[in-house]
């Protein structure tokens, strides 16, 4: 994460020939299509700074924080129709060749009837009413945000702040009016990058920028240990709860599988596309979705009980396609910052 990406339709066109030439070397499952469907986002004509997309099961929507437009775009995975919630952050007019990672909104999560989204312009977390599509309140942060996550078991919002090497934890209260109260701060020297909750073990996981994954106790809000992850640069995380495996994305082009029952032992280190950042896992399909921003690919892996990953299909995407989300039913969305949209892949394996 923490990447800004902007425009240049000409750059996408320039890579088209390369991608088509490479496509003949890709291995596709018999029912996988080689060309993802491009879906433009409102206001994305000049490119967008896209980052932390996700699936909101309670709303049955893919949420795309649309960068400097200051809006959240909600996509219905059944038909790809879109609705927008404006005003999460001030709208910034994108200009060709400029980078706007620190403007707009880049991360959002659902919890207890509300959406919590980053507002980079005000260095705040916005509490959003998804029904009436409006911001109810903004809570100031101590530093610039990256990931926003909701811990339902404790009604907490956790916000990673890499510039300050910490995670801020807020207590959520819906009455008399929705608000967040600062609860504590977790120091993560050398990080934090990414954030994932493991409710069964009362743990939270994050990465240091190099070589290690941090384990935190969600009750005590303390770092309890760190695990070597075999990554030169650790980025995204995904959880296979059924097999007690944690997947760590290595930006250099690999996925490490860590055992949650063997003190983070690395069970497998699987090569994938270069420039890996955010990854997504479908428990229903046991599929791991891995986009490579430098390789301009999305690889679908079958997650085996052993911890090994078996490549099922590789799709050509575009440069800087570093983020992905899925709805656990085979509808996969890859961000396309240069083009100001997303790429849709129907995974029917």
Residue range 46-86, pLDDT digits in tens:
999 999 999 999 999 999 999 999 999 999 999 999 999 99
Opening angle at CA 100, ends 99 and 101, nearest 5:
105
Structure tokens at 70: 């200051």
What pairing do the DSSP bridges indicate for beta strands 114-119 and 108-111?
Answer: antiparallel
Task: List 67's β-bridge partners, or say none.
Answer: 105
pLDDT at position 102:
58
Span 273-300, mean pLDDT?
A: 97
Residue range 228-243, pLDDT digits in tens:
999 999 999 999 999 9
Domain of residue 286 covers: 9-346
242, part of any domain: yes
Query: Going by C-beta distance under 8 Å and a sequence separation of 6 or more, which residues neighbour residue 299?
Result: 272, 273, 289, 290, 291, 292, 311, 313, 314, 315
- State CA 169 to chain mean position distance: 19
pLDDT at position 12:
31
Rounded Cα–Cα distance for residues 234 and 263 (Å): 18
pLDDT at position 80:
97
Q: Is the pLDDT of residue 42 over 90?
A: yes
CB 126 within 8 A of CB 91: no
Rounded Cα–Cα distance for residues 196 and 215 (Å): 10
Rounded Cα–Cα distance for residues 301 and 286 (Å): 8
Q: How many domains does the chain have?
A: 1
4, part of any domain: no
2, part of any domain: no
Q: Is the pLDDT of residue 310 over 50?
A: yes
**Residue 32 or 321, more confident:** 321
Structure tokens at 315: 């799709």
pLDDT at position 90:
87
Rounded Cα–Cα distance for residues 163 and 153 (Å): 28
pLDDT at position 21:
34
Structure tokens at 234: 């650790």
150, part of any domain: yes
3, part of any domain: no
1, part of any domain: no
* Residue 306 belongs to domain with CATH number: 2.130.10.10
Span 94-112, mean pLDDT?
A: 74
Rounded Cα–Cα distance for residues 349 and 346 (Å): 9
Phi, psi at residue 315, to the nearest 5°?
Answer: -110, 140
pLDDT band at 32 (very low <50, low <70, confident <90, very high): very low
Q: Is the pLDDT of residue 14 over 90?
A: no
151, part of any domain: yes
Q: What percent of the chain lies above the pLDDT cut of 70?
A: 87
pLDDT at position 34:
61
Q: Kindly report the pTM of this predicted structure.
A: 0.89
pLDDT at position 334:
98
Rounded Cα–Cα distance for residues 207 and 313 (Å): 27
DSSP 52: B
pLDDT band at 181 (very low <50, low <70, confident <90, very high): very high
**Cα dihedral 110, 111, 112, 118 sign:** negative
Q: How far is the CA of 138 from the CAs of 71, 104, 186, 201, 220, in angstroms?
A: 15, 14, 21, 31, 26
Rounded Cα–Cα distance for residues 326 and 342 (Å): 12
Length of the chain in terms of residues written: 349
CB 55 within 8 A of CB 330: no
Kindly report the number of other CB atoms within 10 A of residue 95's CB atom.
Answer: 13
Adjacency order of strands within the sheet including 254-259: 234-240, 245-250, 254-259, 266-271
**Cα dihedral 127, 42, 95, 279 sign:** positive
pLDDT band at 103 (very low <50, low <70, confident <90, very high): confident
47, part of any domain: yes
């Amino acid at each position: 994460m923490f990447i800004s990406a902007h425009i240049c339709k000409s750059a996408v066109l320039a890579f088209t020939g390369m991608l088509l030439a490479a496509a003949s070397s890709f291995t596709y499952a018999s029912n996988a299509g080689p060309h993802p469907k491009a879906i433009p986002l409102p206001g994305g004509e000049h490119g967008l700074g896209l980052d932390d997309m996700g699936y909101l099961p309670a709303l049955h929507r893919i949420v795309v924080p649309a960068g400097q437009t200051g809006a959240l775009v909600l996509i219905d995975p059944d038909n790809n129709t879109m609705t927008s919630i404006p005003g999460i952050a001030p709208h910034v007019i994108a200009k060709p060749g400029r980078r706007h990672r620190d403007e707009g909104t880049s991360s959002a999560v659902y919890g207890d009837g509300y959406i919590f989204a980053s507002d980079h312009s005000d260095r705040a977390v916005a509490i959003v009413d998804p029904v009436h599509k409006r911001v109810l309140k903004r809570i100031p942060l101590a530093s610039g945000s990256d990931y926003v996550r909701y811990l339902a078991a404790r009604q907490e919002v956790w916000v990673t702040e890499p510039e300050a090497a910490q995670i801020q934890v807020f207590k959520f209260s819906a009455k008399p009016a929705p608000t967040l109260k600062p609860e504590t701060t977790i120091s993560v020297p050398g990080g934090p990058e990414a954030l994932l909750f493991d409710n069964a073990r009362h743990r939270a996981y994050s990465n240091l920028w190099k070589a290690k994954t941090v384990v935190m106790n969600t009750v005590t809000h303390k770092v309890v240990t760190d695990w070597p992850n075999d990554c030169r640069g650790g980025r995204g995380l995904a959880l296979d709860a059924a097999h007690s495996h944690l997947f760590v994305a290595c930006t250099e082009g690999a996925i490490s599988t860590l055992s949650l029952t063997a003190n983070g032992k690395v069970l497998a280190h699987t090569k994938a596309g270069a420039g890996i950042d955010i990854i997504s896992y479908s428990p229903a399909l046991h599929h791991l979705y891995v986009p490579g921003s430098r390789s301009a690919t999305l690889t679908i892996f079958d997650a085996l009980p052993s911890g090994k990953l078996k490549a099922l299909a590789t799709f050509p995407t575009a440069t800087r396609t570093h983020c992905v989300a899925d709805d656990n039913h085979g509808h996969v969305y890859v961000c396309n910052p240069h083009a100001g949209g997303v790429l849709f892949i129907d995974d029917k394996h």
